[in-house]
Structure 1
Amino acid sequence: MKKITSDDIIFAALSLFSEKGYDATSVDEIARESGMVKASFYKYFQSKEELLLGTIALIEKLLNKDAKELNLKHQLPAREKLRQLYLIALGRIYKNRIHLLVYSVPLIGSKEEKIAHAIDRLEHNLSSLMVDFLIDAYGESIHDYAYDIVFVVKSMIINSFRMSDSELSSTEHQTLAEFIVSITDMLAQGMLSPDVQHQIMWGLDSGLYEDSDHIWTKGRQIAYVLQHMDAVLKQIELDEAIQNEHMQILSRLQGELSEQNVETAHVKALLLFLEQLPALQEDCKKLKAILEI
């Protein structure tokens, strides 16, 4: 009898996640799909969240392996390599709906933040690979526009899967990849035209494509802390008047932090009020550290 490995469990989970979604898939179902009992599952992963982190890590590993092998196929034209990279992305990431998992996980704890961070890194890694292959296909002059093209390509892929009533077949993957390459050709040709000045939306220095070491941006960190504070206020038992007052102050804090020019004094005053509630002290401390105030 074949020994079950952690990768076997991951692939079983991926099948269930893509079919039912992360939230609707139980550890019991994952264990059964893997050919084991629930108790055995915990010998490999301590929780479903840890399994998901392992899943994302494996997909990133396979993505990099596929891309490396594709790069070594020197006989292939650069445009064909780009098409095959799109196919790899379709099969490794979007088919499994990995890009959507972050929105289905309740992001209120450190484990969930790790999941969101891991998915961000995977998407960032894919974007970087696409940019490299775009430059190979269209030359170094496409570099300034490459991130805009990647944004359009990813949007097309996501919408194709979202609009499909059923899982796309291998033939449909091939057709979609060729279609996307055709659109990429048109975008590249238009952007490189000397007759038209194009607005760059997603440059290398934009928040969407920060260096991988800094991808967990301040804005994202702030958003998750505020989300956690909102969840805490809704869960703990407070006098209704006190709860409403704290919710209003939190709303004002969210509004203040969404402004382009943040008034530090106002933020400090709002945090000073909120941190009087013991349940919010840790989150207030996190916000001060993120904002460096």
Structure 2
Amino acid sequence: MDKKTLITQTAIRLFAEKGYAFTTVDEIAKACGMTKPSLYKYFPGKEDLLLEAMAMLSEELEGRVHQLYRKAGLSKSDRIIELIVIFLEYIFNHRTYMVLFIEPLMPIYENEDIQNAFMVIERKLFMWFQDSIIDLCGEEVEGYATDLTFVASSVLLDYIRVVGPHLSHEHCYRLATYVEHLIGVLVEGWKIRKPEMPLLFETPSWVMNCRSEEMTPVLRSRQLQKSFRNMELIVKDHESLKEEEKEDYLEAIGKLRTELNDSLTESVVFKALLIYLEQLEDLREECAKLRAFLFEPDGQPLSF
């Protein structure tokens, strides 16, 4: 592990244990086995260290969400519950982040770079949550999905403010299940009173402006599942294939799903399965889509 990573990980641990405000640069340097001047060679100040910690934890969060949306066996309800649990445990496990979520008026929030870094994380969470709600409830809710997301997020944050920062995994799961049910109740209510129900957010600029060119994990998951379904339909409806050949191709598609769930890298098994499927000309376009959804031209996994 290089020194910069060691310092960042040590700072993350101390921030979580003591809080950002009560952690000194001296303590971080001592825990890393170095002097304060040596630490300043890597980070000019504590705020710079916080920014690096936020970037590292943001990457960790994206990785967890990425893995979640590759679990093909999860129901849409279970997936949104798992997403909420990831969100809750993320802010509970890292005390600094909980302070940023719950008490955004703290002095460091006046730092524009820290404010922007935090807003990027908050917007990503909002986007993932909103996409998951649309995935759960169907495209008919798209017109008021932002309102649904705002209400559900507000319930989560207000509950945290009331109950406090120490929730067990079981408690987080129970809260997530409650919010998933609440979303269903809200959707049914909107369907009944939709003509007279005003919208809070028709085009919320702070959400719309944060959308990156890359797909979110939810959208990418939808595209992957659609591609798999198309491949299965192509095989099942193929007139020139014998039944045993269809079974072989369908088995290969199933194994490809499993391989993608198990690994982020373009493994030997993944390559072999694609080569096998590409023998059927009608599947080549979908195989090309899979590569485009998952990998850069040099074979490296795409980040979410």
- The TM-score with structure 2 as length reference comes to 0.60
Q: Does the 8 Å CA contact 2:129/2:149 hold for their aligned counterparts?
A: yes
In structure 2, the residue matched to 1:21 is 19
Q: How many residue pairs align between the two structures?
A: 208
Q: Say if 1:161 and 1:43 are closer, same or farther in 2 by CA, change over 3 A.
A: farther
Q: CA deviation at 1:9?
A: 3.5
Structure 1 Cα separation of the partners of residues 33 and 187 of structure 2: 48
Q: Say if 1:69 and 1:198 are closer, same or farther in 2 by CA, change over 3 A.
A: same
Q: Say if 1:7 and 1:154 are closer, same or farther in 2 by CA, change over 3 A.
A: farther
Question: Runs of 5+ in structure 1 lacking a partner?
Answer: 215-293
Q: 1:105 aligns with which of 104, 107, 115?
A: 107
1:138-163 deviation line (CA, Å, top 9, x unaligned): 10111122111221222222222222
In structure 1, the residue matched to 2:29 is 31
1:198-249 deviation line (CA, Å, top 9, x unaligned): 221123x2234231279xxxxxxxxxxxxxxxxxxxxxxxxxxxxxxxxxxx
Q: Secondary structure of 1:60's match?
A: helix
Q: Say if 1:184 and 1:210 are closer, same or farther in 2 by CA, change over 3 A.
A: same
1:238-282 deviation line (CA, Å, top 9, x unaligned): xxxxxxxxxxxxxxxxxxxxxxxxxxxxxxxxxxxxxxxxxxxxx
Q: CA deviation at 1:194?
A: 5.8
Structure 1 Cα separation of the partners of residues 190 and 113 of structure 2: 37
Structure 1 Cα separation of the partners of residues 184 and 210 of structure 2: 28
Q: Secondary structure of 2:71's match?
A: coil
Aligned ranges for residues 7-18 of structure 1 at < 5 Å?
A: 7-18=5-16
Q: CA deviation at 1:47?
A: 1.4
In structure 1, the residue matched to 2:290 is none
Residue type matched to 2:68 in 1? L
Residue range with higher mean Cα deviation, 17-26 or 125-134 = 17-26
Q: Quick check: 1:64 aligned with 2:62?
A: yes
Q: Does the 8 Å CA contact 2:92/2:166 hold for their aligned counterparts?
A: no
Q: Say if 1:99 and 1:202 are closer, same or farther in 2 by CA, change over 3 A.
A: farther
Residue type matched to 2:205 in 1? G
Residue type matched to 1:132 in 2? D
Structure 2 Cα separation of the partners of residues 70 and 32 of structure 1: 37
In structure 1, the residue matched to 2:40 is 42
Structure 2 Cα separation of the partners of residues 155 and 35 of structure 1: 42
Q: Secondary structure of 1:193's match?
A: helix
Q: CA RMSD in A?
A: 2.6
Q: Quick check: 1:183 aligned with 2:185?
A: no
- The TM-score with structure 1 as length reference comes to 0.62
Q: Say if 1:67 and 1:106 are closer, same or farther in 2 by CA, change over 3 A.
A: closer
Q: CA deviation at 1:95?
A: 4.4
Residue type matched to 1:206 in 2? P
Q: 2:204 aligns with which of 200, 206, 220?
A: 206
Q: Does the 8 Å CA contact 2:10/2:28 hold for their aligned counterparts?
A: yes
Q: Say if 1:213 and 1:105 are closer, same or farther in 2 by CA, change over 3 A.
A: farther
Structure 1 Cα separation of the partners of residues 85 and 189 of structure 2: 24
Q: Secondary structure of 2:201's match?
A: coil
Q: Say if 1:142 and 1:22 are closer, same or farther in 2 by CA, change over 3 A.
A: same
Question: Runs of 5+ in structure 2 lacking a partner?
Answer: 213-304
Q: Does the 8 Å CA contact 2:11/2:28 hold for their aligned counterparts?
A: yes
Q: CA deviation at 1:42?
A: 2.5
Residue type matched to 2:66 in 1? K
Q: CA deviation at 1:119?
A: 0.8
Q: Secondary structure of 1:192's match?
A: helix
Q: Say if 1:69 and 1:213 are closer, same or farther in 2 by CA, change over 3 A.
A: closer
Structure 1 Cα separation of the partners of residues 172 and 127 of structure 2: 22
Structure 1 Cα separation of the partners of residues 39 and 120 of structure 2: 26
Residue type matched to 1:61 in 2? E
